[in-house]
Amino acid sequence: MKPKYFDIHSHVTFKDYDQDLEEVLQRMRDESVWTITVGVNKATSEDAIKFGEGKEGFFSTIGLHPNDTESETFSENEYKELVSNPKVVGIGECGLDYYHLKDGEVGKKRQAREFEKHIDFAIKYDKPLMIHGRPSRGTVDTYLDMLAMLESKKREVGEKLRGNIHFFVGTVDIARRFYNIGFTTSFTGVLTFAREYDEVVKFAPLEMLMTETDAPYATPNPFRGRRNEPLYVKYIVGAIASIRGISEEVAREATVQNALRLFSIPS
């Protein structure tokens, strides 16, 4: 069975869903929405795996969010016990976040060190990366630093290095460099109420576009201001179709196929 929609990045194990989780899941089943539940540290990575077990259309990634590197480190010995689970389809979310950086160059070096561990781990265990990159205000600094690392590694290992840049907020030039090394970009409900990323969505090869909610965050119109949920990925598909001037069916089918391909999910 193939899903109708694919939300490649959500956090439905977070406490935001404690009161009505079953209703959220039923709405997903009703419209055949699949999702990848993303870990941000060791505990939530374990939660994501457990949550997906026995549920069709639920997968997980395991990793350490750059903001969590202040209190944890990424250890292969700890995560290799998780990566063999068949529900694990990617490594992350990992990357660089300078928007919330508290300790300047020390923090940048720490985040880069932990990100490099994720890159090597993903290559060793043959999984795509789920990358978080949030630049400091008004810049693309995290993307430039990540590209320097990824482009260099790509020259060394080739196709073994692959992944997705989640919640992309960069420019066309930045997107082009990610596409050139085979990395996709995913977009959130922000597309339904902001126009800053329309040019990237238009520019991107259709096979390099993904849809995500980042639920419970980044709720799209017409539900902005409320908690997000994976069902709302359909509004992001609609926004991509509108921006690119294609039918929703073409956008829907392409984004589902892109997700299944990158994360090696049979359907």
Tell me what pLDDT residue 209 has: 98
Tell me what pLDDT residue 71 has: 95
Q: Rounded distance, CA 81 to CA 83, Å?
A: 6
* H/E segment holding residue 145: helix 141-157
Tell me what pLDDT residue 1 has: 82
Q: Give the distance from CA 226 to its chain's centroid.
A: 21
Model pLDDT for residues 46-84, shown as the tens digit of each residue: 999 999 999 999 999 999 999 999 999 999 999 999 999
Sheet containing 5-10: order of strands: 5-10, 33-38, 58-62, 88-97, 129-134, 163-166, 183-187, 209-211
Tell me what pLDDT residue 267 has: 82
Q: At what angle do helices 172-180 and 141-157 cross, to 10 degrees?
A: 20
Q: Rounded distance, CA 199 to CA 22, Å?
A: 38
Model pLDDT for residues 88-125, shown as the tens digit of each residue: 999 999 999 999 998 999 999 999 999 999 999 999 99
Structure tokens at 237: 């598909």
Model pLDDT for residues 183-218, shown as the tens digit of each residue: 999 999 999 999 999 999 999 999 999 999 999 999
Give the bridge partners for 5, in sequence order: 33
CATH code: domain 5-262 is 3.20.20.140
Model pLDDT for residues 122-169, shown as the tens digit of each residue: 999 999 999 999 999 999 999 999 999 999 999 999 999 999 999 999
Rounded to an integer, the average pLDDT of 13-18 is 97
According to DSSP H, which parts of 15-103 are helical?
21-30, 42-52, 76-83
Is residue 3 predicted with pLDDT exceeding 90?
Answer: yes
Q: 245: which residues sit within 8 A by CB, 6+ positions away? A: none
Q: Rounded distance, CA 80 to CA 6, Å?
A: 26
Closest CA to 108 of 145, 140, 73: 145
Q: 182: which residues sit within 8 A by CB, 6+ positions away? A: 154, 159, 161, 162
Structure tokens at 40: 């941000």
